[in-house]
Amino acid sequence: MKKINCAYVDPGGNPTVLVSDRIPRNKQPKLAKEIIKRIPSCEQVGFIEPANNSKALCRLQMMGGEFCGNAARALAVFLAYSKNAGLSFNFESSGSNNLLTASVKLNINGDAVFSKFKTSLPYSVEKITLRLDRRKVNCKIVIIKGISLIVIPGRYYANNVDFLSCFRKLYQDKKVTSEAAGFVFYKKLANSKYKIVPVIYVRVLDSMVTETSCASGSIALALCLKKADLIVVQPSSYSLKVAVKGKTVEVGGKVKEIKFDKFNWENL
């Protein structure tokens, strides 16, 4: 009976399951769907693969081929616990042509308490008009390789909006073509402090989730607001610190939990 080795990492919201066994790319979406079904609190699945770049320890391949900042932070925690490689790592990621450098801080008991990543992240910011049900919204979209994030004032957020249909319409109209997309609703709390509600869609899975944290969405907010430094409060109540300098971004925050597990492959 074959078992799949994996880890559940909650980097302060956006709980991620990382599969450390080698899974063929064509089987990853199906396995990701099943894992999310079995673990309701899991919001996404990443697969750890060998790296192509000799300077990288490994590759993070997300379930839809997208880029995910919190998954990068989760991978750093996983590596700190499972690899004898120190507390700073270079690795590749889907949705990015550049290496990511991630680091982890431990407390006196050896528990991971803080995780961050830094990378060069080419992007563009454009204007976009969309409809959230019957409401016409003029806003901005941040296009990063692997994910497009539409940044929207928080007054437009409502639980009864059919976000899934909105995402499907955006792809149908070719306003969005990336592997993943998101609506990032924001509200200002102080001069350099905001809170967000991120709603993320993964195209290959045709799935949507209102995430408890979103590093990519926090980056997109900083880029739209042209803020070099920003504190972004997540729905989990944890905060992410975002720093932007040119095309280089750095995101860090507290870690909540990590645990290792196995799945029965024969039943998936």
182-227 pLDDT per residue, tens: 999 999 999 999 999 999 999 999 999 999 999 999 999 999 999 9
With bands split at pLDDT 50, 70 and 90, how would you rate the model's confidence at 1? very low
Residue 134 makes CB contacts below 8 A (sequence gap 6+) with none
In this structure, which topology does domain 3-115 adopt according to CATH? Diaminopimelate Epimerase; Chain A, domain 1 (3.10.310)
Q: Which amino acid is at 14?
A: N
Domain ranges of the chain: 3-115, 123-252
Q: Output the pTM of the full model.
A: 0.93
Strands 135-144 and 147-153: antiparallel
**Paired residues of 87 in beta bridges:** none
If you ran DSSP here, which 8-state letter would residue 191 be given?
Answer: T
Q: Which of 38, 28, 17 is nearest to 63 (CA)?
A: 28
Identical fold between 3-115 and 123-252: yes
What is the assigned CATH class of domain 123-252? Answer: alpha beta
What pLDDT digit, counting tens, does each position of 87-106 carry? 889 999 999 999 999 999 98
